[in-house]
């Protein structure tokens, strides 16, 4: 599984990444976590508001810092 955090590197983006890591620990799942900072590449994915979270290439959350519980649900 590959999880991407899409955002400019602001505090909200870093908090989103921290929550993704917390959700992975909580579920016991492993994933490659990558932070994508290139706003042009982010826009090409159709994301207009950051932070965003993509799982295996599919944008699942955009425009807000998700709760750990919401990320856990996405991880299944």
Integer angstrom CA distances of residue 7 from 16, 26, 32, 48, 76: 10, 24, 17, 10, 24
Q: Are 72 and 26 in contact, with CB atoms under 8 Å apart?
A: yes
Q: Which residue numbers are catalytic?
A: 10, 13
């Amino acid at each position: 599984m590959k999880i991407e955090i899409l955002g400019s590197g602001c505090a909200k983006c870093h908090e989103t990444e921290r929550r993704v890591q917390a959700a992975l620990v909580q579920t016991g799942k492993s994933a490659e976590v990558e932070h994508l900072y290139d706003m042009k590449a982010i826009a090409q994915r159709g994301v207009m508001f950051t932070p965003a979270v993509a799982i295996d290439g599919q944008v699942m959350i955009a425009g807000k810092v998700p709760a750990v519980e919401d990320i856990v649900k996405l991880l299944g």
